[in-house]
Structure 1
Amino acid sequence: MTETQSSSFHLLDERIQRFIWAEGWESLRDAQEAAIPLILPGERDVIVAAATAAGKTEAAFLPALTHLLQREVPGLIVYISPLKALINDQFGRLERLCEQLEVPVWPWHGDISSSSKTRFLSKRQGVLLITPESLEALLCNRGTAVSAVFGEAAFFVVDELHAFIGSERGKQLQSLMHRIDVAIGRKVPRIGLSATLGDMGMAADFLRPGAGERVAVVESKSSGAELKVLVKGYEEPAVVQSDDGKEDSEPSTPGLIAAHLFKVLRGSNNLVFPNSRREVERYTHLLNEMCLKQQVPNEFWPHHGSLSKEIRSETEAALKQKEQPASAICTNTLELGIDIGAVKSVVQIGPPPLVASLRQRLGRSGRRKGEPAILRGYCIEDALDPRSSLDSLLRLGTVQMAAMISLLLQKWFEPPRSQGAHLSTLVQQVLSAVAQRGGSTIGQLYSLLCAPGTPFQGLAKDEFAQLVKHLGAKELLTQDSSGLLLHGRVGEKFVNHYSFYAAFAADEEFRIVSSGRMLGTLPVSQMLTQGQRILFAGKTWLVENVDEPQKTIFVVRARGGVPPLFSGGAGRVHTRVRQEMRRLLESSEPLPFLDDVAQRFVAEGRQHYADRGLSTECVVDLGRELLLLTWLGDAANEAIAALLIRRGFVANLAGPGVEVRKDGHTAEEVLDALGDAAVDEPPPLDVLLQDAKNLQREKWDWALPDDLLRKTYASLNLDLDEALDWARISALRA
């Protein structure tokens, strides 16, 4: 590479230039060429968006390190990652280069020794690699030293930016960076790195709240690898007979899928994504058994958040070593950018949670020059019989998978719900700021966290005062005679426990209990109401009560009626996905990425859709229930259900629509009620969600006053505008 080939290469420090030569780079990537002159002066915020393995890390660090080397006073780059494993990877990548530059690199997370952390605190220069949780702990426990530790901070580098936007951790991260800015009295330039960003304006607003228009954006134009897709369909028999002739409650298709995976994946590295931890365990067990039976070395390893660090590390090590092939059966724990080497294919069993997840997962495959990215999909549908649900008749699982792949090929994926209030995280940040400062006034806290340009801007002063008063009632805060807010008896216990530093709660499932007997657990991603029907273990149940503190749903068997479409929390679906599903059902276009069985499923779904006249009919009579077929996303459907509940109906989310119990009501009465809702003044959230249970989703939701809990839940989970638009249109049609 010569200077004439690159306009940015000569801007880098000579030692970095020599390192690039020694590594045998033929040229800088386009993202690196564009990012270097923007980042190097250390004066502005920059987002670098490029495909996985397109050199984003180097696009940030080559100019940031050059800037550090040009400073008169030693400086600090703070690299923030969502994963400890990613920090360990980056440490390995950066240490070799930084050793030659005589720039120290400091990994900092729960597994790093206290002596290493003490050495960093004495030097406070180089590159600090840290998670948001460890940064939180640093601010809480060393509050008086924050300005000294970060006084010479030159950059915040936020990796996997998309993983933070619209989440509790994202709001926490915004708050932490802002609190450091306030402590040192200046704004530290921020660099965001991501492979999966749709709306650059939203990403820029997230990186620098209130000043997103001033963030420079670098988007790599280099095209990704060729993509090869094949989706196989499997039909689950209506009744499975075991060897002794009795009905078998275990499905047979996972065994068939595992056998196919065993055949096509052996001998190469792959990632397999079922949609739950339970399914990860199921497929890992099936594949391990096949290896034992065939007397071949095991190539299949589990990876999910409930496994111990040692087991996850074994899986990561198996993927990284080159002597033996290995495939991981995993949840989204391997979705982000841990360096696990080249992956031949990505397997998705059932529709993914999001199109964005599918895109992120596929970024793992096809990273070697000339190799395609390969997606293998598997869809399971129940065999049709006279009792089949509308879900089965329309083959919605396969149609959703096809719609998501279609949108992926159109380069669309879900924007995050960036407008979420995340008041749970505000509770944590109030307690953390009090710890950092050794006490604070209510005015100081509001100015720090909720004023314009801060992470929680938009919360009114009276609402914040109400929150602080409620935290006092919960003994999380107390006020001394001078008006200074301090930790209360309960608050002190929480803040002094290591679990405080995480803004998010560990994934929790609700226990399902019937007549005192626990039936199992279920992840729940929507509000529940008494009288609602849910599907669990292949049977239909009526919700009697929801005990939120104990995370328990009390149910009784429902008699008669078709099974409900709600069967748990597999991820919240966006309206664009449902609209694409509807388009595919109304279309006759071939879907070449489906095998013959999956093609048959789609043909059956299209036929039933046409036979029922669903292109013009929005109400389906299910016997004891009516289904409003909206083809909207879960956020709008849940808002429609809430509007109907407010008017005395029993309604709940049901796949591409809303299920309403008749109780003597006609379809016209239901639509009339929605029509009234569409012309009335939109109800206050306090009223709209008055009868809703299980609204506590985030870690500190239990500490919120009821009206603020409803406000934060609605901001994250309801789309009232979209719901009312649909209600208006439906009322006009009726």
Structure 2
Amino acid sequence: MWSQGWTSLRDAQEWAVPALVDADRDVIIAASTAAGKTEAAFLPILTNLLNHADPAGAVLYISPLKALINDQWDRLSRLCERLELPVVAWHGDVAASKKQRFLKSPHGILLITPESLEALFVNRGSSLPGLLQNLRYIVVDELHAFIGSERGKQLQSLMQRVEILTGKALPRIGLSATLGDMSLACIFLRPGQPDGVTIVESKSSGQELQVQVRGYIEQPMQQVAARPRPAIPADQQPAEDEPEENTSGSKVAIASHLYKVLRGHNNLIFPNRRQEVEWFADRLRALCEQDGVPNEFWPHHGSLSKELREDAERALKAGDPPASAVCTTTLELGIDIGNIRAVAQVGCPPSVASLRQRLGRSGRRPGEPATLRVYCRESPLTDQSSLSDQLREGLVQTVAMIRLLIAGWFEPPRAQGVHASTLVQQCLSSIAQLGGASAQQLWSNLVASGSFGSVSKFDLMSLLKSMGEKELIVQDSSGLLLPGELGERLINHYEFYTAFTSDEEFRLLRDGKPLGSLPVSRPLSKGQRIIFGGRRWQVQDVDLEAKVIVVSPARGGVAPQFEGLGAQVHDRVRLEMKNVLMETAPCPFLDKQAQALLHEARLTFQAMGLESSQLISSESSTQLLTWQGDYTNDALALLLNHVGIQTDNRGLSLEIAFNEEDTLRALRTVSRLNPEDIAPMLDNVENMTREKWDWALPRSLLMKSFASSHLNIKDAILLARKFSAGENLTL
């Protein structure tokens, strides 16, 4: 603190000292990005380790990202360099020799991912009690990134299993800038005892926010002029210049504006899909080449190689020359990338929470505002335009999200998911760790502890029976459960340690040098052109067995087709969208074109009478606007289909292939359904297998798990009851 010239602590750092220094309670530290959460946690934690140095204590720091571990290793190593406390990073990219330091002397700070901790349980089960016996704290960074996911269930289970090994409850410390509901965060951090969690929440942001939303009418496809050849060796140049691919005129216009206002400063640009990241990075690079200036725009996403991602991070951190990253959620979390001037969002943000996390990267210097630029593309209206286009759904949703952000609201995590898929993995992992386990041990260690609290004994016994039928486990004459033939093979495979599904991927090579990877679900053929790493390549060879794609520099090409974000819109966002459409005053942060588009949408809203009516009917179809989120709308669509009414969730509305009378009759039928009796409702759903180990679940538990994570059946039936009673449909 002296060497850094600190004259005071920030509020969260000051409040965290009495909460953490005695290692006697669970704590959540919630503060904005760059508010010093790491120091808030580790100044008192390190003080505890130094004040009670016999025996030497250890801290288990769990992070969602390897890159964040590398970043925190550097930060904590500087903090600990005079304290004689080792800081050890442990993940797949760390050399075994460095990991040996902790194995030989298990004290200090161990930085690890959930997957690497899982691997320790499976591969070092017998020696793990000795390695973890001196643990004093468990620190979970970016807590919000885990809540409500398979990976979060894995983390909860691993923390409980660590405590079982050490024979004591360890203080659990959660760090986050984005927690929409503190009570849910407490339940996640300490299932069964959330009231014992101390909350340290900093409210001192005081940061000025500058926002502009720019509107664009989708223009006809246009052919972008060929650009100068990049500086690559002559023998690697394509045989002839090829024109760029036809692309959206509005995309070209957005890229031009990004180039105009962002060049010369450090920025983050967030398109919503990886293929858009590649397109914008390539287009912005081309504009730099066209003007004869050094490139300032770097792609950054999870399918790029580690080296290419780190090149972008180093360019941002250096700050001179200026650098902007065109990125996905990979730069949403707390990796240190230096000062960011502005955050640009292309398209509607995936969520308010995500927008808040992204904006937290901007305006970190004292007195500097956080700057947000949003670019919305809308289609020109015709007689065939959908309701979504007529109400300018993307623009209105963006406005609603920004208004909620300014008001300080963001989505709470969806924490009620059963995630029984992860329970399959944890059963196999526990059996491997212990060299065999009884059903009672699995119940006690995994379920009764609270990690999988919504799973009943009947559910667990059905699950173990199903796992036996699928040869994942076998039972010996004493009743001990052991890995089955298939279970043994899967446990010994490196992909076992992850709780979530990841596609097999092709590695991209150029002259033997790795560029990154592409999902195998997107096959490529020889001669095909792609954009990757912000550059254009031609596929020369595809080795299916080795999963390798050999590429060379090329001119034309289209971006690889990655999956989009698929974010579910929250109920509160849709209600705010209705509020936006009901108002008449101009929105202060929209440009002239966006104002015109919003005015157009409001006129349509009024003309359709949607302030008081939520049904738009014709002789053969009906559109139902619930103004609820996707979990509720998906459930209501499923229930209407269940009672024989063909229905699709179109986002803003449910599209029903029947007239108003039939729709009202179906809603009355839905209103009488029992929300607890989900089996008949889900009986015809074919795509419930969403998570990694879902295939091993008995159907009853699969239904329960799917419904808990993907549907809000209770509110869907409540909506139907309100509508049947003639009440306003909106909850």
Q: TM-score range by the shorter chain?
A: 0.7 to 0.9
Does the CA contact (< 8 Å) of 1:238 and 1:385 recur in 2? no
Check if 1:474 corresponds to 2:495: no
Select the residue among 138, 161, 172 that pairs with 1:190. 172
Check if 1:158 corresponds to 2:140: yes
Shift of 1:249: 6.2
Check if 1:700 corresponds to 2:693: yes
Check if 1:501 corresponds to 2:497: yes
How many correspondences in the alignment? 660
Q: Cα deviations across residues 203-232 of structure 1 (Å, max 9, x unaligned)?
A: 111111111101111111312421100010
Tell me the residue number matched to 1:41: 22
- Structure 1 distance, partners of 2:220, 2:687, is 34
Letter in 2 for 1:681: N
Q: Cα deviations across residues 155-189 of structure 1 (Å, max 9, x unaligned)?
A: 00111111111111111111001001011110111
Q: Cα deviations across residues 374-395 of structure 1 (Å, max 9, x unaligned)?
A: 0000000011122211111111
Letter in 2 for 1:31: A
- Structure 2 distance, partners of 1:241, 1:60, is 54
Check if 1:130 corresponds to 2:127: no
Letter in 2 for 1:152: N
Shift of 1:100: 0.2
Write the mapping of 1:595-674 to structure 2, written as runs, cut at 5 A: 595-621=591-617, 625-660=621-656, 662=657, 665-674=658-667
- Structure 2 distance, partners of 1:568, 1:320, is 28
Select the residue among 94, 98, 107 that pairs with 1:116. 98
Shift of 1:475: 1.2
Shift of 1:512: 11
Shift of 1:250: 2.9
Structure-2-length-normalised TM-score: 0.87
Write the mapping of 1:53-72 to structure 2, written as runs, cut at 5 A: 53-71=34-52, 72=54
Tell me the residue number matched to 1:578: 574
Does the CA contact (< 8 Å) of 2:637 and 2:654 recur in 1? yes
Select the residue among 259, 283, 306 that pairs with 2:256. 259
Residues 385, 412 of structure 1: CA spacing in aligned structure 2 closer, same or farther, 3 A cutoff?
same
Check if 1:375 corresponds to 2:368: no
Q: Cα deviations across residues 521-564 of structure 1 (Å, max 9, x unaligned)?
A: xxxxxxxxxxxxxxxxxxxxxxxxxxxxxxxxxxxxxxxxxxxx
- Structure 2 distance, partners of 1:109, 1:360, is 25
Residues 114, 240 of structure 1: CA spacing in aligned structure 2 closer, same or farther, 3 A cutoff?
closer
- Structure 2 distance, partners of 1:625, 1:354, is 31
Shift of 1:587: 1.0
Does the CA contact (< 8 Å) of 2:620 and 2:659 recur in 1? no
* Secondary structure of the corresponding residue to residue 40 of structure 2: helix
Write the mapping of 1:408-427 to structure 2, written as runs, cut at 5 A: 408-427=405-424
- Structure 2 distance, partners of 1:710, 1:424, is 12
Check if 1:397 corresponds to 2:394: yes
Tell me the residue number matched to 1:487: 483
Tell me the residue number matched to 1:341: 338
**Bigger relative CO (Cα 8 Å, ≥ 6 apart):** 2
* Secondary structure of the corresponding residue to residue 482 of structure 2: strand
Tell me the residue number matched to 1:730: 723
Write the mapping of 1:141-180 to structure 2, written as runs, cut at 5 A: 141-180=123-162
* Secondary structure of the corresponding residue to residue 568 of structure 2: coil
Residues 670, 238 of structure 1: CA spacing in aligned structure 2 closer, same or farther, 3 A cutoff?
farther
Tell me the residue number matched to 1:50: 31
Residues 81, 242 of structure 1: CA spacing in aligned structure 2 closer, same or farther, 3 A cutoff?
closer
- Structure 1 distance, partners of 2:67, 2:427, is 29
Q: Cα deviations across residues 665-697 of structure 1 (Å, max 9, x unaligned)?
A: 421111211112213433622211111232222
* Secondary structure of the corresponding residue to residue 253 of structure 1: helix
Shift of 1:568: 7.6
Tell me the residue number matched to 1:350: 347
Deviates more, 1:475-484 or 1:600-609: 475-484
* Secondary structure of the corresponding residue to residue 298 of structure 1: coil
Tell me the residue number matched to 1:13: none
Check if 1:99 corresponds to 2:81: yes
Q: Alignment RMSD, CA only?
A: 2.3
Check if 1:715 corresponds to 2:708: yes
- Structure 1 distance, partners of 2:453, 2:623, is 39
- Structure 2 distance, partners of 1:655, 1:68, is 52
Tell me the residue number matched to 2:187: 205
Tell me the residue number matched to 2:307: 310
Tell me the residue number matched to 1:460: 456
Deviates more, 1:622-631 or 1:200-209: 622-631
- Structure 1 distance, partners of 2:579, 2:259, is 35
- Structure 1 distance, partners of 2:223, 2:338, is 43
Shift of 1:413: 0.4
Check if 1:435 corresponds to 2:432: yes
* Secondary structure of the corresponding residue to residue 662 of structure 2: helix
Tell me the residue number matched to 2:536: none
* Secondary structure of the corresponding residue to residue 431 of structure 1: helix
* Secondary structure of the corresponding residue to residue 129 of structure 1: strand
Give unpaired runs (5+ residues) of structure 2: 226-244, 505-518, 524-562
Q: Cα deviations across residues 123-161 of structure 1 (Å, max 9, x unaligned)?
A: 000111111111111111100112111111000011111
Tell me the residue number matched to 1:294: 291
Structure-1-length-normalised TM-score: 0.87
Does the CA contact (< 8 Å) of 2:619 and 2:659 recur in 1? no
- Structure 1 distance, partners of 2:319, 2:694, is 46
Check if 1:686 corresponds to 2:683: no
- Structure 2 distance, partners of 1:512, 1:610, is 44
Letter in 1 for 2:268: L
Letter in 1 for 2:659: T
Select the residue among 313, 325, 339 that pairs with 2:322. 325
Tell me the residue number matched to 1:519: none
Shift of 1:704: 1.4
- Structure 2 distance, partners of 1:224, 1:254, is 35
Residues 242, 295 of structure 1: CA spacing in aligned structure 2 closer, same or farther, 3 A cutoff?
closer
Select the residue among 584, 589, 599 that pairs with 1:588. 584
Shift of 1:569: 5.9
- Structure 2 distance, partners of 1:236, 1:571, is 23
Does the CA contact (< 8 Å) of 2:474 and 2:483 recur in 1? yes
Shift of 1:711: 1.0
- Structure 2 distance, partners of 1:478, 1:622, is 59
Shift of 1:510: 11
Residues 221, 683 of structure 1: CA spacing in aligned structure 2 closer, same or farther, 3 A cutoff?
closer
Letter in 2 for 1:318: A
